[in-house]
Each structure stands twice: as C-alpha cells, then as structure tokens.
Structure 1
C-alpha cells in the first residue's frame, strides 16, 4: 500500500506541472505583434542608376542647342531677322527643339519610373515578411498539436494506472471482507479496520487525481482552442494581406512596363522599328505565302534592293543605285548614307517617279509569277488571285523600305544551290517544314536532314539600334526549308 501511495504521489506531482502550450501562445503573440516598417530607407540601386542615367542623357542632347545659342551670341556667324535661314538649318533647329522636348519628357518619365520601382521594392519586402510570419505561425501550431498529443498519452497512461489500482483495491477489499466474515488466526480485528481505512484513503486520493486530470485536460484543451482560433484569425488576416500585396505588386509591375514602353516609343524615331515588330511582319508574310517557294524566290528581287524599289536602271537615279551597290561593304557609313538618300528622295520631286517605277516593277514581278504558275499547273490565274499576289509583293516592298531605314544592318538570306551543290542544313539558321520520324531524337534528326529547297528566307541582324557593333550578329527569323532524309 505504501508503494502505491508513493507512485501515485509522484504521478500527481509530475502531472500537475504547468501545461506545455501556455508559453507558445505568448511567443506567437510576440512574433506576430512585430510592426512592419511602412517606409523604405533607401531606393533600389536599379532605380537610382536608371534615374542618373536618364538625367545624364539630357545635357548631352542639349549640346547641339547650346552650340546654336553660342553661335548667336557671337562665336559663330550672326544671323539676323532679315537674313533667310537655309533649309538644312531650319531642319536642324526643329530637330534640336524636338530633342530638347524629348529630354524633358525623359527626365519626368525617369522620375516616375524610379518612384514605381521603389514602390515595387517595398511591396516585395513586405510580401517576404508576411511569408516569414506565416511560416512561423504554422510551426507554432504544429508544436501545439504535438504537445496536445503528448498530454493525451499521459492521460491515457494515468487512466491505465487508475484501472490497475482499482483492481488491486477491489481484490484487497474482497480479501478483507473474507477475513472479516471468516475468522482466522492471522491477526486481530483492528488490523482489518486499518486496511479498510487505507483502502478508502487510497480511493479518495485516486478520485482527486482523476478530477485534477480532467480539469487540466479541459484547461489545456480550452487554451489550445483559443490559441488555434487566434492563430486561424491571424493567419487569415496575413493571407489576405499577402494576396493584396501580390495584387498591388502586379499592378505596379504592369504600370512600370507600360511606362517603359511609352518612354521607348517617345524616345525612338518613327523610322526605327524593333526586332519584335520586324519578326512579326516577316512571320505574317511567310504565313501568307505558305509553301509557295516560287513566290518567295520572286520576293528576293524586292528584298535585295540596295536602296528602295523603284530606282530604274536608266534615269536620273540610276547612278545612285549603282553607287549603292559599290559601297555596301562600308558598314555604318553605308547605312547612314542610305537612310539620308531615302529621306532626300521622299522630299524631292523624284518621289512620284520612284512610286510609279515601284508599281511597274511589282506588276512585272506578278506577271512573271502568274505566267510561271500557269505553265506549271495549266490553270488560269483568277483576278482575285492576282490581287492577292500584288498585295503580298507590296507588303514585301514595304518591309524592304523599313529595313533600309534602320540604323542596324539587316540581311535577308534565301538559301539556294550554288553550281549544283546544295548547302548543308544549318540548325541555327534553318527550320525544316516537313517533320521526320518522331521516334528519332533531335541530334539524329539534324544529322539526317538533307537540304532540298528553301521556302522562305532567313532574317539576320548585324549591330545594334545605334548602328554600332556590326561584328555582332543575331538570327531574328530562321529560314523555312524542305528537307529529305540523307
């Protein structure tokens, strides 16, 4: 009996210790109550660099205007009101005014870009902080669940010990009743009374321990419920804030992209097209032609023009065409001369003559294609087909004019057999329009491709948008070729 009392006393002392989940609630409140800073101490480096770069560009654009002002002040030849201004000076003055206005727009746009980038950086920092708080909250809830499981196991162990003690006390009570009912020589009646009193005392202590266990389990369950409910509310609040910050960051990103696009469109000259626009235009032209390699081959008469389509071999502008063919390898100087020549032709009386010659050239090319198609297919070409063909040729002429006005150099390559020898298949500049066996891997397909004929040319770019770095090339659009299995 004494051993049972000691074991029960140890159990009660070990179990009456404070619950496990109480301190975790305080830790959760302290972590989640951490305030977040609403301001950003320093803007991102990208924003500062972008702002400084934009502001540095403004003075460089105003140098030409300062030169004109200096010339007016006395350093250069004086220009009076009565003296007529030459036409090239008027164009230069207008260009300088436009560059000064564009520089002012650049400064304002750069400030706006910096502001949006700082706001985007702040939103990303707040989003990262919210994610960290969510992870900490989930870890605390998991630890509370583990503590609850440990307490339940302890309660189950206590209940098992209680059942064992009840069985022991029941057997001892029955034995004491037998001893009372059947007199024996083992001891006097007072000893049996002491055993019964000890039995009742042990039962009373066991009942008290059970009540304490029930109260502690109820209190711990209530504390866990309160902590979980508070954690769920806070977790939902953090999740809503996270979604709001993500939505705001996406909106800011879209605003930044649209602003950068508008800045690019304002600072870029009208004659300059982006690589993406050129690729889209050539892709649309290829889709209109489809697999008619005959039409693509005829288009090269237009795309290979050194200046623009419409400069006849005889006439006042024939010398310009011959001169352009002789200086094509001069690099930046050739592209600048060609752009200036096209602008001069557009503003001269020869523009109408060039337009008429262009229409005649398109009619001649369309006639050659229809005659060849009629010979091959023995089918008369309808007027609608001829109109569609003229539209394709006119689109090709517009693309050739756009390429000629760019500062970078573009080359259109139509692969064909030279002296009976077919070119080797180049996976970097060619795409096969007829798929081979799907079971073959890519290396086997490339090794097995044999060039047959070209369907649509390849577009290759040399240099950048400023006309520099001409030694750097980039394939914008691969050629569409028909291949056979070697």
Structure 2
C-alpha cells in the first residue's frame, strides 16, 4: 500500500510536466479558436438578424405598395367603367341624332327639289326684271348726270358761303382766351393755390409750358390755370373729335378713319369731314347729339379732376357751368376751323420749354402779365406759354398750302428783365 501510494504521489517528471503544459496550451488555443468562432457566429447572427429585419421592412413596404397599386388599379378600373358607360351613353345619343339627321336629310332632299323649281321660276322673273331695269337705267343716267351737276354747283356755293374769315377766327379765339382768363382769375380765388398737389402726369406736362412752375410768382397762378385749361382744350383740336366722343361703333369707326386719313392727306380729309357728319346726322341725329354732349362732358370732368386738387375740390361743381360754356364755344370753333378749306394750326411756333430756351417774337407772340410794349420784348426769354397762336396755311379756296398767315398771336408771359444792383430802370 505504501508502495502504491508512493507510486501515486510521486513527483512528475519534466517530460510529463512539459506534456501537461503542451496539452494546456493546446486547450487554451482551442478555447480561443472556439471563442473566435463563437464571436464570428454572433456577428453573423447579428448580421442575419439585421438582414431579416430589413427583409421584413422590405416585405412590409412591398405589401403596402402592392396594396396601393391594387387600390390604384381598382380606382382606374372604376374610372374606365364610368368612362365606358359615358361613351356608351354618348354613342346611343349619337345614334339617335344620326337617325334624326337621316330623316332630316331625306326631308331636305325633298325640299330642295321644291326650291329648285321655285328658283327656276325666280330666275326667269329676275331675267325679266333685269331687262326692265337696264331699260330704266338708260333713262335714269341722264337724270343722274343732271343731279350730279346740280349737287356740284350747290356744294361749291355752300362751301363758299361757309368759309370763316380771318377776322371772325381772331374774334372767336379772343373770346375763347378772355373767357378762359376770366375763369382762371375767379378760380384762383377759391382756395390756396398749391402747384405740388397737381398729379404727376399733369405736373410733368405743365413743365413743357412753364419754366420752374413750383417757384413761379403768386401773381402768375391764374395764368398757370389758364395754361392748363387752354392746353387741354387745344389737345382736342383734332379731326377725330369732329364727331364728338361716342361709344357708338359707327361714330368711333368714323373718328378713327378721320384720325388716320388726316396724317395722309389733310385737304381730302377736311373735305370729307362735313359731308360725313351730315350723313351721320341723317342716320341717327340723336346719337350724334349725344356724342357731342359726351365730348363736352368728358372735357369738363377731366379739367375739373385736374384743377380740383390744385385749388379746392368743393369748388369744382360751382365751376362746371362756366367750364361747360367755355368748352362748348371752343369745340364749336374747332369744328368751324376744320370745315374751312384752309388749314389752321393751334400751337406755339418756336417754343422750346423747358429743355431749351424760347424767346419772344413780336410777329408770332403777344405778351400778357407785362406792362412793357411788345416791340421792346423782342428776343426776351419766355417765362410761360399761356395760350397758343392760330396760324393759317393756304386760303379759303384751298390753294397755296405752303403760305402761313398769323391769324392770332400766341399769348406768353415774358421773363422780367433783370437789372444790375444800383442801376436805374
């Protein structure tokens, strides 16, 4: 027993120890290998779980997509069914219409046969009427020739009688100017004159006639009003307003023809205006009267809208009667001038405000708001253009269209002559 125990608890040899160490190292290596494989398997498991999750999401999305596509297909099928039903209904309606058209066509064929018979009879009657008309035309030609000669002589006499003289033109223009001037003087008393209240468009337009309107003396305020009124009225001295201002298509078309024709041939257009107006009077006299009245009303309202902010809006209704009287007289004068064989122009000859300078010319201009004689103002710079002059080209017979005659001089305000300090005037 002792021997056995000694053999059992004997000290191991080096070879045995080395073998044990070797086996231990081998086991540790195998354990590390198993651990590595285990980690790899866990990583693969996690990867597979992620892929399974993604696959589940994709399958869910695909299921939803298939459901949406299925719903869309259902909607499309329902839509197609509805359209198919509508097409069938339309086809039934077209078939009914086709049947009706076939019946109508048969009836039309029968009617055409009847119409052909009636047409043949009418052709025979027209042939007989044409022969009778040709015979009557031969007899009427002589009467037409005599009537044409009579109308020509009558037109010549009428034109000769209706020509306005230079003195009459000058007198009526003076009346128009003094009426506007009197109106401007009264209007300037109705409120504080504020040129800055003038609308932008009219303010820029006014600068074409006045040097430094905002800084002009208070004494020139009535002339600024007169300039606004006169220039607005003169802007309507044009053939297109010869027929008033109507929304009627006929009058509007005639006005546009007059406007276009005047730029091509002034004499022919002027000769055409009055006969055309008489023709419109025969067609619809109340309509032409309404067009003239509307033309005057539009002018009065526009002038009122311009001057209202400049002075006092409460003043505008009180001034309407005076404005209407002035406007009516002005438009009557314009129509008389358009009827004349001579060509009348209303403008400021030689004016160049404000970009350039305009100088006083005694032959073309007449000074207002100045105590100096016109002869002493020759060459003086112009402060304000108040009222245009009237210039006639040609004579009462329509001849010598290149010759200009000054009928009425333009009204202007010359600048006051500046004197050096210490000098005596």
Q: What is the TM-score of this pair, normalised by structure 2?
A: 0.48
Q: What is the TM-score of this pair, normalised by structure 1?
A: 0.43
Structure (1 or 2) with the larger CA radius of gyration: 2
